[in-house]
Structure 1
């Protein structure tokens, strides 16, 4: 009897939880109310089966409970019961599948007036491409992807005016249907925006697509809904739905493939002139100065330096009240007049000699090696940095600065700005370091990693290998 009561309580409790739970679907912001209707049909069908099965189970437990005078009756077949079960199951499955199949057919049948956006997924980043004035996408292929050609663009005239958006921020016009073309650079991903009730797998080597019409102005989160690696949970972006005029203005401000290809190469000599101000804190050779809380710059890649300077210039870094040293950096970065100046100074710094730094913190490098396994997925097993994952070099950087930034990420002092997507990822990843000791340990291990180009074999003064 106690078991039967427990089953009944479980069933009734589940029903009450469903109706009175504070959790529900996110607000609908697209035309796909039909998907909500399908979800509700699924809930009602499965809910009815759940209640019926549990109440029947409770009845069976009570009706056929043990009695020493009772003997069981063996009945291997009951055609009437089998017919009822087969018929009810068929109706239930049809009720589950039919609405979904109808909605799916519409989900992959975009209207002719829909404009197009290509979504490119990679570990662990989103980027986007719009067709240019000709209304056609240029040809692309993953084999052509490189640091200088992240979209894998092919020499195709139709691709010269394609608009390339490398940041994980997508802007779409409200009340205008859009066909989303999906492809992956590396592994299986899934593009999902819960408010749009829209998601689709992205398979390497092929494209998939769906469509929707944004109906509510606002900002919505993009997530990857397919386990794609260790930083899967941090693979996020955002969609901003705006009025048509705002969308056109934003799109006009994004570079085309031809414009990116035509950019002037960086001029390190011009960058040297811009660096004169930086040298007061960071040193003439970019060696850094811990007394001035200025980190080492020599040894960092130009692409990373460019990104950091742009973040300071646009206010995505150095605006938090507790980021004292970031606030000091902002006016210096703002003194760079344009993007060309940023690339010039980054090229100059990248060419500075990379001298070793001494450890100033104590930590358990052996324990830090275990903690670093997660970091290595993005930054490389040797801390060399991987541009494809937007992760800078760590090996050879000063430990006091690494420790301070990890603490800033853990506390949300750095990386929480909406225009700092990679900082947002670091905030999430840094949470695995549960305390200051863990930070010191992982930094101690990073200090054991060889610098880029460093000769690992020790050589004694006589020139012989030890």
Structure 2
């Protein structure tokens, strides 16, 4: 009886803590409210399953507790129960996965008018590259990485000479404009994550990944690395400033090109 009561209290306490928890999402500052909706739905489904399983176990402890004269029935198979369990489990998994697939399809479908920003991860700082006057980024390869060329921009590609290079400094982005984040790492696995954007993606050495987002609120936000990348992982932080188009243009003219490095 004591164990059954404790299990009931665990369920009640978990639900109360969930609604009163001080640890919740930071304010949303992008178009990805879908991420919040999908997470809440996952919490609801897994929370309901957790409560149902624990309360069922508590009920069994109470209902089938030891009594003098009671005799257990041996029933190794129960086809009806198996069908119910398989059906409920399958339905729950589909309910959790299906919304995520729809969100993922949007997550990687970049709008045609999106601005390109390349993010380069390196132990333990963030670097960035933006298109120059020609409007496109030049070729890059980790084999070109040197002390004088930390981003590995190809010196043989004319399109890369006017690329704007930001080394270990803050990133500025215009508000209400879709941005395609092209992600690359020059050493180990990293993950580019801005909590308020609700968007993140692994950065894999020797490969390129991407996602897109539209910053919707002017402000200053912290960039985190969400993948353990070495002893300095916790210090791999950066700042992104979401500003008006005029302020962004003013910042842009102050940046140096690859040819000027």
Q: TM-score, normalised by structure 1?
A: 0.55
Separation in 2, partners of 1:68, 1:184: 68
Separation in 1, partners of 2:226, 2:175: 24
Structure 1 portions without partners, runs of 5+? 261-466
1:151 matched to 2:165: no
- Map 1:115-264 onto structure 2 (within 5 A): 115-154=115-154, 155-260=156-261
Higher share of residues assigned strand: 2
Q: Give 1:168 deviation, angstroms.
A: 3.7
- Map 1:89-128 onto structure 2 (within 5 A): 89-128=89-128
Larger Cα Rg: Structure 1 or Structure 2? 1
2:15 aligned residue: 15
Separation in 2, partners of 1:82, 1:3: 27
- Map 1:365-444 onto structure 2 (within 5 A): none
Separation in 1, partners of 2:245, 2:71: 76
Structure 2 portions without partners, runs of 5+? none
1:71 aligned residue: 71
Q: Is the 8 A contact 1:130 1:164 kept in 2?
A: yes
Structure 1 outlier segments of 4+, above 3 Å:
none
Separation in 1, partners of 2:153, 2:172: 22
2:60 aligned residue: 60
Q: Give 1:153 deviation, angstroms.
A: 1.4
Q: Give 1:71 deviation, angstroms.
A: 1.8
The alignment partner of 1:56 has SS state of helix
Q: Is the 8 A contact 1:189 1:226 kept in 2?
A: yes
1:44 matched to 2:44: yes
Separation in 1, partners of 2:112, 2:40: 30
Separation in 2, partners of 1:171, 1:71: 73
Measured against aligned partners, the alpha-carbon deviations of 1:156-187 in whole angstroms (never above 9, x if no partner) come to 11001100000241100000000000000111
Separation in 1, partners of 2:227, 2:164: 27
2:6 aligned residue: 6
Measured against aligned partners, the alpha-carbon deviations of 1:69-112 in whole angstroms (never above 9, x if no partner) come to 22211111111111111111111001100000110111011100
The alignment partner of 1:68 has SS state of coil
2:33 aligned residue: 33
Separation in 1, partners of 2:7, 2:127: 50
Higher share of residues assigned helix: 1
Q: Which has the higher contact order (CA 8 A, sep 6+)?
A: 2
The alignment partner of 1:38 has SS state of helix
The alignment partner of 1:161 has SS state of coil
Backbone CA RMSD of aligned residues: 0.8
Separation in 1, partners of 2:250, 2:169: 18
Q: Is the 8 A contact 1:144 1:152 kept in 2?
A: yes
Q: Give 1:231 deviation, angstroms.
A: 0.9
Separation in 2, partners of 1:22, 1:205: 40
Separation in 2, partners of 1:243, 1:256: 23
The alignment partner of 2:256 has SS state of coil
The alignment partner of 2:11 has SS state of helix
Q: Give 1:258 deviation, angstroms.
A: 1.5
Q: TM-score, normalised by structure 2?
A: 0.98
Q: Give 1:202 deviation, angstroms.
A: 0.4
Separation in 2, partners of 1:9, 1:141: 57
Q: Is the 8 A contact 1:168 1:236 kept in 2?
A: no
The alignment partner of 1:50 has SS state of helix
Q: Give 1:23 deviation, angstroms.
A: 2.2
Separation in 2, partners of 1:125, 1:100: 31
Measured against aligned partners, the alpha-carbon deviations of 1:259-286 in whole angstroms (never above 9, x if no partner) come to 22xxxxxxxxxxxxxxxxxxxxxxxxxx
How many pairs were matched up?
260
